[in-house]
């Protein structure tokens, strides 16, 4: 469960950021792929192959789940000690990797709709940013149906999304009085969104965006955008992602994850069309 945010910053263009929350400690790899003549740079969760990132055309994609039961099942499989369950490949990661072959945010948006991606998904390039809200009705039943809405954001807009539907109120966590877990999760989703929205106007730089996402004003860690909860199986912020389409950059800040960089220098060599930076978990960076 996550928080995603987008805002247009005059010096940088559209900037996307995310707190990625999991109920297990992920091992994350940074992959730079050159398939089909397109360079893509993305974060990969090695247990599920879930991915998000940016490509050489400055198309960036970040997403927060609103198919929450599906996402929690995925997290449970990834965290299992049963090796047979670790072969699970997150279908949303495949969808995002496919959309990152596209040359514009609009084209990537159309691809994600065609591939029926669920979630609150932000798709941006330097000049355009879209919010795509998608979910399945009767996901595990005989009448499975994909529904979605999307809109292009104005440069005067900023947007925050968590794990409940806004344009499709039936999607994501609900205030279900008969399900205490879901009711508590809905409260968390609403509160995390509210905290970031209240600080959205204060964001002037990408560093500001990560600082806002690092807010922890509540005593209950589940109510904060940055969830630093040490209880077993609790949702916890495992890392922060930042994409700057204009610069074709992906930045990752591990907060509760292991990150593997087999060849860091190769990610940023003279032939690179996309660029990566790891951010210290102790100190935010200057761009």
Q: Mean pLDDT of residues grouped by 10 in the chain (287 residues)?
A: 95 97 94 96 95 98 84 56 59 97 98 98 97 94 95 96 96 91 94 97 96 96 94 92 98 94 79 92 50
Which pLDDT value is given to residue 285? 41
Torsion of CA 99, 26, 282, 210, to 10 degrees: 30
What is the residue whose two structure tokens read 């074709």?
Answer: 248
Superfamily of domain 2-278: Penicillin V Acylase; Chain A (3.60.60.10)
Which pLDDT value is given to residue 84? 45
Domain boundaries, the chain: 2-278
Q: What residues contact 24, with CB distance under 8 A and at least 6 apart? A: 47, 75, 78, 79
Which pLDDT value is given to residue 83? 43
- Describe the strand order of the beta sheet including 119-124 as a list of residue ranges: 145-152, 129-137, 119-124, 60-64, 50-55, 40-45, 27-33, 258-260
Give the whole-angstrom CA distance, residue 143 versus residue 147: 12
Which pLDDT value is given to residue 86? 52
Q: What residues contact 193, with CB distance under 8 A and at least 6 apart? A: 3, 160, 161, 162
């Amino acid at each position: 469960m996550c928080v995603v945010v987008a805002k247009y910053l005059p010096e940088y263009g559209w900037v996307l950021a995310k707190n990625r929350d999991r109920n297990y400690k992920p091992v994350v790899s940074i992959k730079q792929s050159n398939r089909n003549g397109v360079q893509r740079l993305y974060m990969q969760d090695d247990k599920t192959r879930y991915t998000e990132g940016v490509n050489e055309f400055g198309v960036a994609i970040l997403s927060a789940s609103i198919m929450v039961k599906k996402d929690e099942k995925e997290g449970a499989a990834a965290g299992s000690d049963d090796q047979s369950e670790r072969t699970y490949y997150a279908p949303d990661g495949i969808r995002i990797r496919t959309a990152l072959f596209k040359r514009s945010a609009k084209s990537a948006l159309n691809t994600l709709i065609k591939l029926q991606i669920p979630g609150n998904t932000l798709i941006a390039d330097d000049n355009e940013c879209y919010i795509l809200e998608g979910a399945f009705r009767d996901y595990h039943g005989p009448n499975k149906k994909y529904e979605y809405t999307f809109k292009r954001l104005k440069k005067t807009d900023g947007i925050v999304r968590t794990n409940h539907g806004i344009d499709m109120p039936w999607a994501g966590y609900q205030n279900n009085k008969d399900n205490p877990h879901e009711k508590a999760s809905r409260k968390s989703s609403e509160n995390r969104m509210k905290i970031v929205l209240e600080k959205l106007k204060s964001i002037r730089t990408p560093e500001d965006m990560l600082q806002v996402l690092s807010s922890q004003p509540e005593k209950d860690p589940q109510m904060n955008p940055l969830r630093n909860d040490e209880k077993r199986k609790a949702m916890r912020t495992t890392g922060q992602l930042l994409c700057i389409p204009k610069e074709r950059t992906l930045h990752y800040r591990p907060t509760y994850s292991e990150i593997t960089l087999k060849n860091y220098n190769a990610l940023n060599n003279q032939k690179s069309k996309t660029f990566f930076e790891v951010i210290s978990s102790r100190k935010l960076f200057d761009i």
